């Protein structure tokens, strides 16, 4: 009798690149180690790669498919005997497997009665290669002869220090007033998140190095000034955030000198004067494709703060999931927050057959927003509309046009995944959702997505076609613009500035006076938006999308649609190269974007995000003439990553 079906099945996959006069092949191999024959079954699997609708499948046939989830069955009468292997060859994916994380990351067996059991899924290998798959943060060793005596990322405007003393064991912070004392407490909390047990903040009676914290109205709001003396230092900031940044710089210097005394020193005299080059220094995180717990989000905020990043763009909805509690529509989290076999949203991107996922309660969001405020980070929520709404529409199908008869697909192959601008009941629902979220997020900004609406969206909707006739236009873009202008008007009435991806400028665009755009698709997109009069955040996929692989090497983790970007390539990218003075005046800043399709595990997250996140942070903070990649690479390993996973030699 078989008692452990989980150990009974193993799914392997192999990619064979296309050669001259040949075809690329994706091979799936299911092994039966259960000790019992297996018949009348199917294989379910998912990962970023998608089987094409017209793919040639040898050894089986596609039974069902949604985006990157696929079910394949063997030919009738096939029985997988104990110890045997079932091989499926797929010739035809929506895009080739360019990196190991593109392949299947979860598989399971589906029995005749609909029951499921997971298969142990081995990451995809490249045919003919035995090279190890790369995971964990890329090593960037600290050199013995570092190009700078002090360790600071991002690099300040002016560093004029001298002298050398033994690195203090910790900092004893003394606030000159109640506000400064609060900053000291916030910095202490930050160090506990990042470096627990190091005692980076400690009392003077425990050997703490005295640091006096104060405000200085002559400094800019994020500026700070540190002055060093033989027996202590002072930190002054133009605001609480400026004071916090000064303490972060001091903490970085202390850790560098303590951990690498042959490379870095701690001064006894001089001063550091600093202020950021750009106002917007952001990081986006997609929690729809993969869910991150509240504790992970809090830890990540601490990492952002240590990099002096000041905006967290929280991508809370997408086709794959809805992640925020809404009282008026509990269906959104009851249905849209979860994935699983036989559920409204199937297993996607490596989800198993079991119910999995999650969402953030309102209290969890309040706690996260409060922590962001303490760490100097403005949290900007994003609800992606009108596209990328498959999960939302599964939860609220009444928002569809019942007369729509045709099927269109998004670029990720989700069918009919867009809110219909001609369905009037859509607008009060969106306004109710946004109103509840505005109570949670005090940020000036509210991001509405607006990316990747398919060109054929709503083409068979009688309501949409009637609206187009009324507008006197054709195609999806004018409909999206009509929708976005109404959504923006609501947000403006609530005192919010509307954020959107670059596609929101299409079809007539939205009010430039109350919005900002994120340029992402090409390097040139951001400049074009600025030339059109929009305030712009630069985030091109070719440089600042941290889901892109670190190199072209197949054994690297990550995606490849925008190419690849090493830490050096990311660092050296100039976000406003060739812009006119008028265009530069509309540059808000820069933003890293973390899309989570390839984030198969914690070590992959660390591999893709670090140290490139710190590279983007330095671009946003440090003046172009003061940037130096050799210095940055000597300091980067001192910056924290999220999970503590490092590349294994």
Per-residue pLDDT of 414-428, as tens digits, reads 999 999 999 999 999
What percent of the chain has pLDDT above 70? 98
DSSP 8-state code for residue 519: E
Q: Whose structure tokens read 């889901």? A: 547
Do the domains spanning 6-126 and 158-274 agree at the CATH topology level? no
pLDDT band (50, 70, 90) for residue 22:
low
Mean pLDDT of 476-494: 98
pLDDT at 184: 96
Strand ranges (DSSP E) for 496-564? 497-501, 515-519, 535-538
Q: What is the DSSP letter of 263?
A: T
pLDDT tens profile 259-288: 999 999 999 999 999 999 999 999 999 999
- The pLDDT assigned to 44 comes to 98
pLDDT the model gives residue 366: 98
Sign of the Cα torsion 407, 410, 413, 416 reads negative
Amino acid 649: pLDDT: 61
pLDDT of 3 strictly over 50:
no
Partner residues linked to 237 by β-bridges: 215, 224
pLDDT at residue 92, rounded to an integer: 87
**Is residue 1 over pLDDT 70?**
no
Question: In 3D, which of 333, 317, 260, 237 has the Cα closest to residue 285?
Answer: 317
In this model, does residue 20 exceed pLDDT 90?
A: no
Q: What is the pLDDT of residues 184-211, one digit of tens each?
A: 999 999 999 999 999 999 999 999 999 9
Percentages helix, strand, coil for the chain (3-state, rounded to 5) are: 30, 25, 45
**What pLDDT is attached to residue 538?**
98
Strand extents, DSSP E, 95-162:
106-110, 116-121, 125-126, 158-162
Rounded to an integer, what distance in angstroms lies between the CA atom of residue 336 and that of residue 163? Answer: 59
Dihedral over Cα of 131, 136, 138, 140: its sign: negative
pLDDT at 7: 60
Mean pLDDT of 559-571: 97
Average pLDDT, the chain: 96
Confidence of residue 18 (pLDDT cuts 50, 70, 90): confident
Do residues 200 and 251 touch, judged by C-beta distance below 8 A? yes
Q: Does the pLDDT of residue 6 top 80, yes or no? A: no
Are 306 and 616 within 8 A, CB to CB? no
Architecture of domain 6-126: Sandwich (2.60)
- What's the confidence (pLDDT) of residue 348? 97
Burial (0-12, 13-18, 19+ Cβ within 10 Å), 178:
exposed
pLDDT at 569 over 50: yes
* DSSP 8-class letter at 505: G
Class in CATH terms, 158-274? alpha beta
The most distant pair of C-alpha atoms in the chain lies apart, rounded to whole Å, by 84
Q: What pLDDT score was predicted for residue 581? A: 98
Q: Where are the domains of the chain?
A: 6-126, 158-274
> What's the rounded Cα separation, in Å, for the pair 437 and 447?
11
pLDDT of residue 575: 97
How big is the chain by its Cα radius of gyration, in Å?
Answer: 26
Round to whole Å and give the CA distance between 104 and 113. Answer: 24
| Whether 253 contacts 152, CB under 8 Å | yes
What are the phi and psi torsion angles at 14 (to 5°)? -145, 140
Strands 515-519 and 497-501: parallel
How much is the pLDDT for 21?
53
């Amino acid at each position: 009798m078989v008692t452990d079906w989980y150990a009974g099945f193993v799914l392997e996959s192999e990619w064979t690149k296309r050669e001259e006069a040949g075809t690329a092949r994706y091979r799936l191999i299911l092994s039966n180690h259960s000790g019992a024959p297996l018949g009348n079954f199917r294989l379910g699997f998912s990962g970023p790669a998608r089987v094409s609708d017209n793919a040639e499948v040898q050894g089986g046939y596609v039974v069902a498919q949604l985006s990157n989830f696929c079910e394949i069955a063997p030919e009738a009468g096939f029985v997988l005997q104990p110890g045997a292997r079932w091989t499926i060859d797929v010739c035809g994916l929506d895009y080739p497997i360019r990196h190991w994380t593109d392949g299947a990351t979860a598989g399971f067996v589906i029995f005749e009665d609909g029951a499921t059991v997971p298969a142990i899924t081995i990451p995809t290998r490249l045919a003919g290669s035995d090279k190890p798959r790369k995971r964990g943060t890329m090593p960037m060793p600290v050199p013995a002869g570092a190009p700078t005596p002090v360790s600071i990322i991002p690099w300040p405007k002016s560093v004029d220090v001298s002298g050398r003393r033994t690195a203090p064991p910790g900092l004893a912070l003394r606030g000159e007033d109640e506000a400064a004392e609060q900053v000291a407490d916030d910095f202490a909390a930050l160090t506990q998140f990042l470096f627990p047990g190091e005692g980076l903040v400690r009392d003077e009676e425990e050997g703490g190095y005295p640091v006096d914290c104060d405000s200085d109205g002559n400094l800019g709001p994020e500026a700070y000034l540190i002055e060093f003396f033989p027996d202590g230092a002072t930190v002054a900031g133009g605001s609480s955030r400026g004071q916090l940044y000064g303490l972060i710089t001091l903490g970085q210097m202390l850790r560098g000198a303590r951990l690498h005394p042959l490379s870095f020193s701690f001064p006894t005299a001089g001063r550091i004067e600093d202020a950021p080059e750009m106002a917007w220094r952001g990081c986006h995180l997609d929690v729809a494709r993969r869910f991150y717990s509240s504790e992970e989000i809090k830890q990540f905020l601490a990492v952002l703060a240590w990099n002096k990043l000041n905006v967290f763009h929280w991508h809370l909805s997408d086709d794959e999931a809805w992640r925020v509690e809404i009282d008026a529509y509990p269906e959104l989290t009851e249905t849209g927050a979860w994935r699983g076999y036989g559920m409204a949203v199937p297993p996607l991107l490596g989800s198993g057959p079991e119910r999995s996922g999650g969402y953030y309660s309102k209290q969890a969001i309040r706690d996260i927003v409060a922590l962001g405020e303490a760490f100097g980070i403005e949290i900007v929520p994003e609800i992606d509309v009108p596209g990328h709404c498959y999960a939302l529409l599964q939860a609220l199908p009444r928002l569809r046009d019942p007369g729509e008869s045709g099927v269109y697909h998004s670029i990720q192959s989700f069918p009919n995944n867009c809110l219909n601008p001609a369905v009037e009941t859509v607008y009060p629902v969106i306004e109710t959702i946004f109103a509840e979220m505005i109570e949670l997020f005090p940020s000036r900004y509210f991001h509405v997505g607006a990316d990747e609406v398919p060109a054929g969206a709503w083409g068979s909707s009688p309501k949409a076609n009637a609206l187009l006739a009324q507008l006197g236009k054709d195609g999806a873009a004018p409909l999206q613009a009509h929708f976005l202008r109404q959504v923006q008007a609501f947000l403006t009435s609530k005192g919010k500035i509307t954020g959107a991806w670059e596609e929101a400028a299409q079809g007539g665009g939205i009010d430039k006076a109350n919005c900002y755009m994120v340029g992402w698709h090409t390097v040139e997109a951001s400049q074009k938006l600025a030339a059109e009069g929009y305030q712009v955040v630069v985030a091109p996929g070719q440089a600042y999308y941290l889901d892109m692989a670190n190199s072209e090497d197949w054994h690297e983790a990550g995606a490849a649609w925008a190419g690849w970007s090493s830490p050096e390539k990311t660092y050296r990218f100039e976000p406003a190269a060739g812009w006119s003075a008028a265009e530069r005046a509309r540059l808000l800043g820069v933003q890293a974007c973390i899309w989570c399709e390839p984030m198969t595990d914690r070590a992959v997250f660390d591999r893709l995000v670090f140290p490139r996140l710190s590279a983007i942070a330095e671009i946003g903070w440090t003046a172009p003439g003061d940037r130096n990649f050799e210095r940055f690479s000597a300091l980067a390993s001192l910056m924290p990553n999220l999970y503590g996973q490092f590349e294994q030699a």
